[in-house]
């Protein structure tokens, strides 16, 4: 796993999956169409502003609420490179790992501003902010690192199927 780099988009505590991806779009199945509604319930302009690799930085319990995998698909399709939060709704967390979107649990309140450039070292477990500040995060357990390294669970299970 290498390094990720992107601008920070800051969100508050308890951003639920209805805000990440409103229920009325759940019937959509084309990933491109799903990506157009990223974070619409929290910031309707997000999908237009976000650039590939950008990073969501949130407080506690990001992705609480429903089990919708669309919440991860929409972020990935919109170009989000990683999500940092103090804690995650557990189904969102599982979905992110399964689809290969790094969901990273911060140790401390993030000290950074909207738009700061962040560099994440997945191996070393550090986040460097453009202002020079360095923060650490809870490293992934080996089982989860294996899934993320493989680009998510789909290629992993697929290779098993072909054996």
Partner 1 sequence: MHALEKILARAAGKAQVRAGEMVTAAVDLAEINDLYLQVIQSFQAMGGKSVWDPDKVVFVFDHYSPPPTPKAADNHRIMREFAAAGGITHLFDINAGVCHQVMPEAGLVRPGMVLVATDSHTTTHGAFGAFATGVGATDLAVALIRGTLWFVVPEVVKIQLTGKLGPGTAAKDVVLGLLQRLRADGAVYKAIEYAGPALADFSIAERMVICNMAVEMGAKTTYIQPDGKVRAYLAERGIKDYPVYTTDPDYEYAEVHEFDVGEVEPLLAAPHSVDNVHPVGDYAGKAVNQAFIGTCTGGRLEDLEMAAKVLRGRKIPPGVRLVITPASKEVFLKAIETGCIQGLVEAGATVTSPGCGPCLGIHQGMLGPGEVCITASSRNFPGRMGSPQAEIYVASPLTVAASALRGRITDPREVLEEGS
Q: Of the listed pieces 2-10, 27-35, 119-127, 130-138, which binds partner 1 according to CB under 8 A?
A: 27-35
Unique residue bearing structure tokens 């804690």: 87
How far apart are alpha carbons 160 and 163 in whole angstroms?
5
How far apart are alpha carbons 71 and 20 in whole angstroms?
6
Q: Is the separation of the CB atoms in 82 and 4 below 8 Å?
A: yes
**Closest C-alpha among 106, 109, 16 to residue 61:** 16
Q: Minimum CB separation from partner 1 for residue 41, in Å?
A: 5
Output the six-digit token pair for 105: 């649990």
Binder of partner 1 out of 27, 32, 52, 108 (CB under 8 A): 27
Residues 64-83 within binding reach of partner 1 (CB under 8 A): 64-70, 72-73
Which DSSP letter does residue 48 get? Answer: H
9-34: buried (b, 16+ CB within 10 Å) or exposed (e) per residue? bbbeeebbbbbbbeeeeeebeeeeeb
- Tell me if 19 contacts partner 1 by CB under 8 A: yes
- Tell me if 95 contacts partner 1 by CB under 8 A: yes
- Tell me if 24 contacts partner 1 by CB under 8 A: yes
How many residues contact partner 1, by CB under 8 A? 43
Residues 116-155 within binding reach of partner 1 (CB under 8 A): 141, 143, 152-154
Q: Minimum CB separation from partner 1 for residue 10, in Å?
A: 18
3 state SS of 62: strand
Binder of partner 1 out of 10, 18, 139, 145 (CB under 8 A): 18
- Binding residues (CB under 8 A) for partner 1: these are 13-14, 16, 18-19, 22-24, 26-29, 41-42, 60-61, 64-70, 72-73, 87-91, 94-95, 98-99, 141, 143, 152-154, 157-158, 161-162
């Amino acid at each position: 796993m290498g390094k990720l780099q992107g601008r920070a988009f800051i969100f508050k505590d308890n951003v639920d999956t209805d805000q990440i991806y409103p229920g009325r779009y759940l019937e959509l199945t084309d990933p491109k169409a799903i990506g157009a509604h990223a974070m619409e319930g929290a910031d309707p302009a997000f999908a237009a502003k976000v650039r590939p690799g950008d990073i969501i930085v949130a407080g506690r319990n990001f992705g609480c609420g429903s089990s919708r995998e669309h919440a991860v698909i929409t972020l990935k399709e919109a170009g989000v490179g990683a999500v940092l939060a103090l804690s995650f709704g557990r189904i969102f967390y599982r979905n992110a790992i399964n689809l290969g979107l790094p969901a990273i649990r911060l140790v401390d309140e993030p000290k950074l501003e909207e738009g700061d450039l962040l560099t994440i070292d997945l191996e070393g477990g550090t986040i460097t902010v453009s202002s020079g500040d360095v923060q650490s995060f809870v490293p992934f357990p080996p089982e989860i690192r294996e899934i993320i390294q493989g680009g998510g669970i789909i290629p992993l299970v697929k290779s098993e199927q072909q054996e």
